[in-house]
Amino acid sequence: MTEWGDGTRSVHAGLPAPEPGQPFLPGPVFAAPYHLDPWRGPEATPNGYGRPDNPTRRLLEAAVGELEGGDCRVFASGQAAITGLLLAVLRPGDTVLLPADGYFPVRAFATATLEGIGVRVVFVPTAGPYPSFEGVRLVLLETPANPGLDVADVSALAAAAHAAGALVAVDNTTATPLGQRPLELGADVVVASGTKALTGHSDLLLGYVATRTAELLDAVTAWRTTTGGVPGAFDCWLAHRSLATVDLRLARQTANAGALARLLAGRGDVTGLRWPGLPTDPAYPVASVQMRRMPGVLSFDLGDADRVARFLDASRLVSAATSFGGLHTTADRRAQWGDDTAPGFVRLSCGIEDGADLVADVTAALDAA
């Protein structure tokens, strides 16, 4: 069969076979216990208890797995997914390589928890240079990195890591599976926050792990079952509902990010602009080959915290908010959360507003600031 396009796959991912009188996407199943067969017990049904078993959750996992190209397990948040993966795979004495410029809470978790249980943590910039992978258990790449948007060459790094016996995980949050498919690039496992662009409506928390390796899937599944970091049925249903529009949303967000990047590149009062879709961006040579589409997120520096506040006060379309990937354009001054970025550093997430309106609004707000 001819491979379907992104829009078609997004609309149909994980849906059950059509059944007359039933909805396209069955409503959420709310259950802690389920009826059991009095003779055969849990062997007779896939549903026994709500922590490991839920049909709504399984449909979402099938959908995300189709988009990522592997088997999927969803978690209560992106942080639950990535910490679950790290703790399921790593043991005292292991070495893990983490992005020095990646998601700040993951770095904080590594120094506070992983090092505390005897895991050796090495931080490496996403753009490199990378040390030898000899003796490394796991290499975690975040590409494009959040919030600085550097890009790692997944294929090259996966080949080098595998040659040394290391596993490779890729945080695919910023790109989404429509932006890049790390498992096809050689990664062993994908981890991501579904809170952001994948579901895109700013109304739920979600994370997931996807892999083609049965051993890794079993380890992650066992960890989730034991620790209980599962998303609720309604959040899973909302997430699955939202997947149908991800292709449309990302297309508008990418177009808006490109328009804003071109605007900001021409302004002398904006520095440090990063967007991997710009031919002048340091990440462009790798991103243009590796990524299927560019993210709707860009970053830049306005000099100081006061100017960021004035910009946000003056804007009618850009809201001050953390997270990214939603329908509404937002900007986040990362230093206010303790992230090790400059005081005026801004991560801007493009929504799905009309591009001309967004460009005009940002232009006016920067002029006013």
Q: pLDDT category, 3, cuts 50, 70, 90?
A: confident
Mind listing the pLDDT tens digit for each residue in 135-169? 999 999 999 999 999 999 999 999 999 999 999 99
Report, as an integer, the average pLDDT of 113-136: 98
Lowest mean pLDDT among 39-48, 77-86, 227-236: 39-48
Handedness of CA 144, 145, 149, 151 (dihedral sign): negative
**In the predicted structure, residue 281 carries a pLDDT above the cut 90:** yes
Tell me the whole-structure pTM to 2 decimals: 0.96
pLDDT at 163: 98
**Cα within 13 Å of Cα(158), Cβ side:** 16
- With a CB cutoff of 8 Å and minimum separation 6, the contacts of 42 are 36, 48
Confidence of residue 1 (pLDDT cuts 50, 70, 90): very low
Q: What is the pLDDT of residues 50-84, one digit of tens each?
A: 999 999 999 999 999 999 999 999 999 999 999 99
**What pLDDT was estimated at residue 2?**
59
Strand order in the sheet with 71-75: 71-75, 207-211, 189-193, 167-171, 138-142, 95-99, 120-124
> Span 94-115, mean pLDDT?
96
- The SS3 assignment for 190 reads strand
Average pLDDT on 344-348 reads 98
SS3 of residue 324 by DSSP: coil
Q: How many CA atoms lie within 13 A of 255 on its CB side?
A: 13
Rounded (10°) angle between helices 214-227 and 78-89: 120
Q: How far apart are the first and last CA of the chain?
A: 54
DSSP letters spanning 130-182: ----TT-SEEEEESS-TTT-----HHHHHHHHHHTT-EEEEE-TTT-TTT--T
Instruction: Determine the Cα–Cα distance for residues 155 and 26; give it in Å rounded to an integer.
Output: 38
CA-only gyration radius of the chain, Å: 21
pLDDT, position 80? 98
pLDDT in tens, 200-226: 999 999 999 999 999 999 999 999 999
The one-letter amino acid code at 225 reads T
Query: What domains does the chain contain, in order, with CATH numbers?
Result: 6-243 (3.40.640.10), 246-368 (3.90.1150.10)
